[in-house]
Structure 1
Amino acid sequence: MSLEVWREFKGEFEKVGAFSDGEPSARAFSYDEGYLERTNAVPLAPWLSLTSRPYGPHDYASLFDGMVPEGPMRGELCARHRVDRSDYLGLLELLSDECIGALMFRSPEAPPSEPGYRQLTAEDAEAFRRDETAFLVGAVEASRLSLSGAQGKTGLFLPQETDPAEAALACWAVPLGAAPSTHVVKVAGSEHPTLAENEWLCLEVARRCGLSVARACLPTAFPGAVAVQRFDRTWATGRSTPLRLHQLDFCQALRLSSYLKYEERPDTCYARYVGEVVRKQSANALADTVEFAGRALVNYLLGNCDAHLKNHAFLYSEDWQSKRLAPAYDVVSTTVLGYDRRLAMDIGDHRVIDEVTPDDLGLLAGDVRLPVRRMKAVAESIAREGRRALDEFSSGEGPLAETASAILADAGPRIAVLERFTKI
């Protein structure tokens, strides 16, 4: 065995299993016999049942490949370490200590890395100003951290009682070894300098619409960045660092490869698939169905065409015995940024956001098996509160107000569709 899988369970690390040696395309994963004997053992994913039988890449690929970075971050890391882009296990071995959720990866030949933190310095601030992407890649390498997604991001630590919006640079720290991070810091590139304001604003609008969202702020220590508190970390009494919580995004939950996160084929219905997996696996299926429907409508209102399957997830309880829909995250108005106006998931019979009709919202209700009357109530609240929040933010000054004004102008026709839906 060459790569071991561990989990953090209530603050303790337990070996879950390991991969066999060999070519990446032929390595088998097996649960550890000691783990199988534990009374608290839980499958890493519903389809990877607890058995001594080894699983092949076809069985586990959607789980583990979904845990590594995508896009430019993945390309940069693979180039630096001469790892093939398709070798996600090789990347997990490099970025093994701080992944999404509660899993960690270790080589049995290498001793476990000691946890710790390195406070950021003025030199870090200068490096950040010179080249945000290089700084983030360096922080990722130092912390051996793996975060999926295509946007430049890294995980940093902040003590529990510190306000991330006002925290000085020296309050932030890079996790080292097995030390957990508390926040994901994402940087806007030169192409879209107000992307941070866009994401913070959209999350705040979603929160005001009554949705469960990840906590976020625009930190003064990182101009042009948004800091999002990790919902897969939780603080426990008497601990100076947070505990890790297991999670599965909906590509993983549906056993789909990351490249299938966008709905492209006409014979699929991702909203229906999500509705089914929520009904079967959520500890509160009705509440999470209403929540997911609300998110679909908020993303529609805001013009977020990038709300793909990997931007929705299940979050496990501390004892791994139940799971609920994780808070909303990565909510951005992509339409005002000039991106493709095709939705990541169809609404009713339409994929292009400007072609969605009130009837499509009724079809969406049917896809997730929510009574149309309930969907109309959700739509009415979101149209009202979404407009109110955007009106408030657009009345101010600066990049935030400008972003809110642009989103509100773009969202006008969609708000009208939501309002017409409530009246049919």
Structure 2
Amino acid sequence: MSWNGWVFIYLPGKAVAVPAGSLELVEQGVESTTSIFGYGRRYLERPDAVPVAPLSLPLTCRPGDELTYTPVLPPLFGAVRDAAPDFWGRRVLEARLKVPPDSMPESVYLLQAGPHRFGALDFRSDLASPEAPGLLPPLTQLEYLLEAADRIQAGAPIPAQLEQIFLAGSMGGARPKALVIHNGEQYLAKFPAIKDGFNVPAVERACLELARKAGLDVPPTDIKTLADGRQVMLIERFDRRATGDAFHRRHCVSALTLLAKHEAESLGAPYEDIAAKIGELGVDAGVKADRGELYGRIAFNILVSNDDDHLRNHAFVWDGGGKGWRLSPMYDVVPRPQLAHERYLHLSVGPQGRLATLDNLLEAHGSFGLLRKDAAAIIDRIARVTREWRIFFEDLGVSAVDCDKVASAFRRPGEIGLEAVESALRRRPAPSE
């Protein structure tokens, strides 16, 4: 059985989507087996056409060609997978439709995800289908949204007065969340989960602000305390921008899609592969900055034990002016408390693989287009800030109890290779470096 429909895209600066091409999903029950995509002739003739996916759906076919594509790794194209609801979004849709978990074909999840999905793609049954309506709730509705999220986590039905979650809650990721309007922009409200061992919203927000203090690119964040004492983290969407009365969408893909990999290939994938794709597909004027930013994020992940750095937790945004992809702001960074002295990130750091040490990262400097001394300076800058994490967290309102619970996540730089970094800062670089 197949579902045949259309992929629409909101091009840079445009408030109305245009059809990019046709999509066929071949499905057997709830399982997708493969998919087929073909660009539309009119779309390819547009001077502002954007590739739906960087590698698997390039704009290389000419108008009039009968060229279609199948995924590099079936069943879904990476860009389609990125725009589909993930774990949490699926639970929200299932609660709205009153069906069991994972009981619907992928085409139903795609069509039901609504207008607030990640990035600039939309999926419609036919060319005449209108854009799905959907006003997001204001910040004043946070308590109702959290109550609805609690009920979804518990598998309880959602009463009529809490149904705003069905519009605002279909974003991806595993944790409970919803979209709201805050300061005139779209923000993701990230809720506490029922089984959290510490105040994750407060800690994640503080960790992101610590990254900002270390010079990394982080979206605006905020924290709200509700009447019952629970806290909700707010983070601005980087794939939406308010323009007058509308929100313009920005085409985004995950690093998983940029590398044309399957999720099963994420563990151990080298960071240097992402750096290489930045050089190949990035905006020329931004390659150096994006590689340096990525390098700094790896150092930060090492120092705070953020080992959830899989390929879907890195994203890229299409730059219409530069005709290439730029590294998105940082997101989903949570320290993971642990006792192990030898620690690993999800992705490969350097010559010693996933080993989360500063000297392992330093040895990978060339893959990021960095001189050894410049790489050491980035690591040193990050380490100087993360050393003071506890004072910073407490200043942001994280309780002493929660600081104690996450303290084991924060590494002492001197124990994980800082000596090699300091040595690189002191020595005069050789001509080959």
Aligned counterpart, 1:142: 167
In the TM superposition, what is the alpha-carbon distance from 1:74 to its structure 2 partner? 3.0
Aligned counterpart, 1:364: 364
Instruction: Report if the CA contact (8 A) 1:70-1:150 is conserved.
Output: yes
**Which one-letter code corresponds to 1:141 in the other structure?**
F
Aligned counterpart, 2:291: 289
Aligned counterpart, 1:25: 33
Aligned counterpart, 1:200: 205
Segments of 5+ residues of structure 2 without an aligned counterpart are: 424-433
Instruction: Report if the CA contact (8 A) 1:71-1:150 is conserved.
Output: yes
Aligned counterpart, 1:279: 279
TM-score, with length taken from structure 2: 0.79
2:17 counterpart of 1:13: yes
SS of corresponding position for 2:412: helix
In the TM superposition, what is the alpha-carbon distance from 1:106 to its structure 2 partner? 1.3
In the TM superposition, what is the alpha-carbon distance from 1:190 to its structure 2 partner? 2.7
Aligned counterpart, 2:177: 153
Q: CA distance change for structure 1 residues 109 and 314 in 2, over 3 Å: closer, same or farther?
A: closer
Instruction: Report if the CA contact (8 A) 2:216-2:297 is conserved.
Output: yes
Counterpart-to-counterpart distance in 2, 1:402 and 1:278: 41
In the TM superposition, what is the alpha-carbon distance from 1:328 to its structure 2 partner? 0.5
| Aligned-residue RMSD, C-alpha | 3.3
Aligned counterpart, 2:327: 325
**Which one-letter code corresponds to 2:166 in the other structure?**
E
In the TM superposition, what is the alpha-carbon distance from 1:25 to its structure 2 partner? 2.4
Instruction: Report if the CA contact (8 A) 1:65-1:258 is conserved.
Output: no
Counterpart-to-counterpart distance in 2, 1:124 and 1:383: 36
Aligned counterpart, 2:430: none
Aligned counterpart, 1:168: none
Deviations 1:239-259 (A, max 9, x none): 123211011110010011234
Counterpart-to-counterpart distance in 2, 1:91 and 1:375: 43
SS of corresponding position for 2:279: helix
**Which one-letter code corresponds to 2:179 in the other structure?**
G
Instruction: Report if the CA contact (8 A) 1:65-1:257 is conserved.
Output: no
SS of corresponding position for 2:422: coil
Alignment match of 1:251 (pick from 240, 256, 259): 256
2:268 counterpart of 1:260: no
Q: CA distance change for structure 1 residues 402 and 270 in 2, over 3 Å: closer, same or farther?
A: same
Counterpart-to-counterpart distance in 2, 1:25 and 1:341: 37
**Stretch moving more, 40-49 or 151-160:** 151-160
Deviations 1:38-81 (A, max 9, x none): 12112112221233411124465222123323335535645845
Kindly tell me the number of residue pairs found equivalent between the two proteins. 392
Q: CA distance change for structure 1 residues 288 and 22 in 2, over 3 Å: closer, same or farther?
A: closer
**What does 1:405-416 align with in structure 2 at a 5 Å threshold?**
406-408=405-407, 410-414=409-413, 416=415
Counterpart-to-counterpart distance in 2, 1:8 and 1:347: 35
In the TM superposition, what is the alpha-carbon distance from 1:140 to its structure 2 partner? 5.3
Deviations 1:366-404 (A, max 9, x none): 44342221111011111112223x142355596444444
Q: CA distance change for structure 1 residues 33 and 297 in 2, over 3 Å: closer, same or farther?
A: same
Instruction: Report if the CA contact (8 A) 1:217-1:226 is conserved.
Output: yes
**Which one-letter code corresponds to 2:8 in the other structure?**
W
Alignment match of 1:182 (pick from 161, 186, 204): 186
Aligned counterpart, 1:55: 69
Instruction: Report if the CA contact (8 A) 2:150-2:194 is conserved.
Output: no
Segments of 5+ residues of structure 1 without an aligned counterpart are: 161-180, 264-268
**Which one-letter code corresponds to 1:65 in the other structure?**
R
In the TM superposition, what is the alpha-carbon distance from 1:116 to its structure 2 partner? 4.4
SS of corresponding position for 1:30: strand
Instruction: Report if the CA contact (8 A) 1:96-1:106 is conserved.
Output: no
Aligned counterpart, 1:393: 392
**Stretch moving more, 123-132 or 242-251:** 123-132
In the TM superposition, what is the alpha-carbon distance from 1:2 to its structure 2 partner? 2.9
Counterpart-to-counterpart distance in 2, 1:121 and 1:207: 24
**Stretch moving more, 26-35 or 271-280:** 26-35
Alignment match of 2:316 (pick from 295, 309, 314): 314
Counterpart-to-counterpart distance in 1, 2:205 and 2:141: 27
SS of corresponding position for 1:213: coil
Counterpart-to-counterpart distance in 1, 2:87 and 2:214: 31
TM-score, with length taken from structure 1: 0.81
Alignment match of 1:70 (pick from 74, 82, 86): 86
SS of corresponding position for 2:182: coil
Identity of paired residues, percent?
Answer: 24
**Which one-letter code corresponds to 2:147 in the other structure?**
R
**Which one-letter code corresponds to 2:365 in the other structure?**
A
Counterpart-to-counterpart distance in 2, 1:127 and 1:184: 12
Q: CA distance change for structure 1 residues 88 and 255 in 2, over 3 Å: closer, same or farther?
A: farther
Alignment match of 1:212 (pick from 217, 220, 238): 217
Instruction: Report if the CA contact (8 A) 1:188-1:195 is conserved.
Output: yes
**Stretch moving more, 63-72 or 190-199:** 63-72
Deviations 1:97-132 (A, max 9, x none): 221111111122884255342646988735633753
**What does 1:102-121 align with in structure 2 at a 5 Å threshold?**
102-108=120-126, 111-113=129-131, 115-117=133-135, 119=137
Q: CA distance change for structure 1 residues 358 and 225 in 2, over 3 Å: closer, same or farther?
A: closer
Instruction: Report if the CA contact (8 A) 2:307-2:346 is conserved.
Output: yes
Counterpart-to-counterpart distance in 2, 1:20 and 1:379: 46
**Which one-letter code corresponds to 1:227 in the other structure?**
L
Counterpart-to-counterpart distance in 1, 2:358 and 2:127: 59
